[in-house]
Chains A and B, each alone.
Chain A
Amino acid sequence: MDPTPARYVIRIKGHLGATVLSTFPALASQLRGAETVLTGLLDRSALYGVLAEVEALGLDLLEVRQLEPQPRAQDSADGR
């Protein structure tokens, strides 16, 4: 298990408002269709912290994906 932080993409169903987003300060958010996509650099503890918040707020989790590490920084959030 690589302890260094990695980029994660987390898709939630529905649009998250400012209030709920305030609980994920380390993540950038983007509305895409009927979903909200959260991206950010997280190590394992941070990742599980985010997942715990998702559970606590009753959010509908669609996907959690770790992105391949990119040699150059990318603007787009899905890291393709």
Chain B
Amino acid sequence: MVRATLRLIDRGGLLGALDRAAAKKVTIISAPAGSGKTSLLRSWAAHAGQRHRLAVVQVQRDQRDAQRFWLALLGAVRHAAGTADATEPPAATPEFNQRGMVDRVLTELGGQCGPVVLVIDDLHELNSSEALAQLTRLLTNLPLDAHAILATRRDLPLRLHQLRLAGELNEIRAADLCFTGAETRELLAASGVTLSEAGLARLQQRTEGWAAGLRLAAISLAGHPDPERFVAEFSGSERTVAEYLMAEMLERQPRDVQHLLLRTALLDRVNGELADLLTGSPGSERILLDLEDANAFVVSLDPERTWFRYHHLFGDLLRLELRQTLPEQVPGLHLLAAEWFVRHGQVADAVRHTQAAGDWPAAARLLADHSFSLTLDGQAQTVQALVRAFPPGTERSELAVVRAIGDYVQGRLDEAAAHLTVAEAQAETAPPDRQRRRRVAIAALKLSLARRRGSLGSVLEQVEFLSSPVTGQSDEDIALDSDLRALALLNLGTIEAWSLGLPDAERHLREGAELARKIGRPYLEVGCLAQLGFASKIRPLATTQARCREAITLAESHGWGSEWVIAPALIALAGAVIWNGDLSQGERWLQRAAQALQAGAGPDTQLLVHVATGMLQAGRGRLREALEEFSAAERLGPQLVGPHALASQVTGWRLATQARLGVPGQARAALTALDAERASSGEIGNATAAIALAEGDPAAALRALQGILDGTRPVIGYFTVIETHLLAGRAHRELGDQRAANQATERALALAEPDRPVLPFLMTCSRELLAALPRHQTAHAALLTDVLDIMRGAPSAVGDHPSSPPAEELSGGELRVLRYLPTNLSRSEIATELSVSPNTVSTQIRSIYAKLQVRDRSAAVQRARELRLLSAGRTD
């Protein structure tokens, strides 16, 4: 809070009232312009700042982007708590989850010790009804030590009757803010003005105690040679108080001050540099500082006192005065201001001033160039308001892209595509220097659309602009291009991940993440990393898990842990841990993903969730539920434009689950209905075998599996081949060939050893098969035992947090021995396995017991399971 040496009086009575009010949950100060609300809040803050911690927000003029309001509030709360430096400053996101944001503010408030007061000034400028609804929720759910004071010019639709009934709502209205006679006397005395009692009374009556009027009067009266006459004339005039006193006050100012006030009137906020530019002469900062010290009409906006704004009423009147007295200068001033704002990256303001200057073509170009960046900054609503300000029918070509972005952000994809078509058609006729940027913007938006719709075909054409180098351009060009580029890489990588162009996907997503980090776009960085986690499905499960966790951690550091953007990583992580057989952890991640997708999900994401859930259910043996999930996933397939990577897997599992449920006939019928290309995949081959086994025809099953085993049928990955071996093993077993069955099982285990995908074993009903394999005939006894344990329902992991870590870390050798403990191999057998002496093994086992604080083998195994030392992916 700024502590300027204002010649305001301390309105002790009011300050006390505000103190008492602040003891209630919510105080609303509702009074018209010029009543003294802001001054009261500031002087109260200067006092109260010592007792309470204050989070202060002043809503910007005509604030349509609720997100910016909430970010400012969150920032202010963090600042009050002193946690601002510890965490990332809250960043804007193109998709804004208002409910989640309010939860964050509540959490932040709840986590503080000691009372906190939220102070929100100019609340009537918040031009967003959802924001008000969420603010109501915030206010009714304030934690114990938190209070709020709101200042507004008019009553707002905040439904706070609950608070009112509970006696926790306080109101301070215009009548309360009126200056009393005593306060007027004090105000004048503080300005060094002496008036007779009659003069005072006349002044009081004329102004009716209106704060703005009295302050203006005090300025004019200070140093006036004949204050009584001034008051007499003022009383005798019929002119409105504001106009009369404004004119008087202005007249009294030195020329350079008048010059400054008029020429900077059209700005919402001003600093010394900008004022110098508009006045054409230096020294503005000094004038502004002096003005703030001398009267309350200029207020500084930051503790360093570099930015100022005029009291709204004052500024409005000045603006009108400017238009009256210097109309020919107004467009030029607007353009000067616009240029300054462009140079300093405040594009929305620049566009507004360019529009005000009447230069519609320039405004359109500026808006079109920056619409992506502004949207990424969370200013989508501002952009659309600016678009609507253009006279109808102007600048259609430049603005077509802006309108397309607006449609896209609102989810109106067809309208967005239509506007893009218009933009493309007119790109031909654009001047050459505009063409390139236009095409780049169109290509970037097409990629976004393609990703949203899941359509893969149109992607390739858009890729070429990504390969063109970003050289020989201005800094501004590079910055704009980088935003577009990062966004395009995210969308391109996502689409490629879906169409099995996985190496390309990984490359593009990684490039996108690095670029996003470089240009300070954390939202895009998280988006790229989240998709990278999903795209990692051909990588070892350990890698996928690591990448997903990295993305999730980054998202959480920005407060986006439950946002839509991180959903792909949540789902991919769920999938990976389910593959590893950790079903309960997978379920938890899926629940979190469901939360993140509450706001809605496209068909591609929904499909993923169904597949992962189906895997979970199948792993648990809940076949009916699994079938529902796989069927749901299949039904979503056609909604994606073009084939997708998981199609054959989903169908294969659906058919296999039907077979396991005891209705192989249905499955077979569906099988024959498949088109030839689909039917040729390895996943369908496995399904065919599963159906055959259910029908009691193991020989047919083996025939179906042959093509996969000899490599003539394509598979998505080696997980499919594990299933193949297991199905073959079951077939052999049923044909009575136990030796062949064991061999098949061993092959499955060998494939699974490095990365430990346990799910294929669960999904192929392989328990008997595994149990029939003698321990000494397998090189993978540890894995075998683990899988059997999971099948028996022993918890393979107990929660994400180990109950307490071991006293000391186990060494590599000890870990290797540990993995054999769940088997019933003797110490000497383990020693043989590991090619070490039995004495070494004994020593290591003793050390293991000591470190895990257990006394016997089964306790050691139990503890090792709890600490997840057995089931984590092997990294050695």
Contact = CB atoms under 8 A, between A and B. Distances in A.
Interface of A: 12-20, 22-23, 31, 34, 55-60
B334 interface: no
A12, A19, A34: residue with the most chain B Cβ atoms closer than 10 Å: A19
Given A55-B154, A56-B33, A58-B212, A16 B313 contact: no
B312 interface: yes
B235 to A, nearest CB: 12
A62 B239 CA distance: 15
Interface residues of B, number: 23
Nearest to A33: B238
B61 to A, nearest CB: 10
B124 to A, nearest CB: 9
A15 B239 contact: yes
Interface stretch (B319-327, B354-362, B468-476, B868-876): B319-327
B320 A14 contact: no
Given A15-B238, A57-B317, A58-B212, A20 B33 contact: no
B240 A59 contact: yes
Given A55-B32, A55-B154, A58-B33, A19 B240 contact: no
A22 B320 contact: yes
Contact of B242 (A23, A34, A55, A58): A58
Given A56-B312, A58-B33, A58-B212, A20 B243 contact: yes
B33 A55 contact: yes
Nearest to B243: A17
Contacts of A60: 240
12 contacts: A14-B243, A15-B239, A16-B239, A17-B239, A17-B243, A19-B324, A20-B240, A55-B32, A55-B154, A57-B313, A58-B313, A59-B242
B241 interface: yes
B103 interface: no
Given A13-B240, A17-B240, A55-B153, 5 more contacts: A15-B238, A18-B324, A20-B317, A57-B316, A57-B317
Contacts of B312: 56
Interface string B295-335: 00000000000000000110011001101100000000000
B619 interface: no
Nearest to A23: B320
Nearest to B238: A15
A12 B241 CA distance: 12
A20 B320 CA distance: 7
B711 to A, nearest CB: 72
B757 interface: no
A59 B34 CA distance: 10
Contacts of A55: 32-33, 153-154
Contacts of B237: 15
B34 A58 contact: yes
B324 A22 contact: yes
A59 B321 CA distance: 16
Contact of A12 (B240, B247, B324): B240
Nearest to B153: A55
Interface string B729-742: 00000000000000
Contacts of B241: 14
Interface of B: 32-34, 153-154, 210, 212, 237-243, 247, 312-313, 316-317, 320-321, 323-324
A14 B208 CA distance: 13
A18 B487 CA distance: 52
Contacts of B212: 58
B725 to A, nearest CB: 73
B393 to A, nearest CB: 20
A15 B210 CA distance: 17
A27 B153 CA distance: 25
A1 to B, nearest CB: 20
Contacts of B238: 14-15, 31, 34
A33 B212 CA distance: 24
Contacts of B154: 55
A31 B320 CA distance: 20
A23 B242 CA distance: 15
Nearest to A53: B316
Nearest to A14: B240
Contacts of A15: 237-240
Which of A17, A19, A58 has the largest count of B CB atoms less than 10 A from its CB? A58
A13 B32 CA distance: 15
Contacts of A31: 238
Nearest to B212: A58
A16 B238 CA distance: 9
A19 B243 CA distance: 8
B587 to A, nearest CB: 54
Contacts of B33: 55-58
A23 B323 CA distance: 10
Contacts of A18: 324
A16 B320 contact: no
A36 to B, nearest CB: 8
Contacts of B240: 12-17, 20, 59-60
A15 B244 CA distance: 10
Contacts of B316: 56-57
A53 to B, nearest CB: 9
Q: 7 closest A-B pairs (Cβ-Cβ)?
A: A14-B240, A58-B33, A15-B238, A58-B34, A17-B243, A19-B320, A15-B239
Contacts of A17: 239-240, 243, 247
A59 B317 CA distance: 12
A58 to B, nearest CB: 4
Nearest to B213: A58
A32 to B, nearest CB: 10
A19 B32 contact: no
A44 B755 CA distance: 70
Contacts of B243: 14, 16-17, 19-20
Contacts of A34: 238
A22 B639 CA distance: 58
Contacts of A59: 240, 242
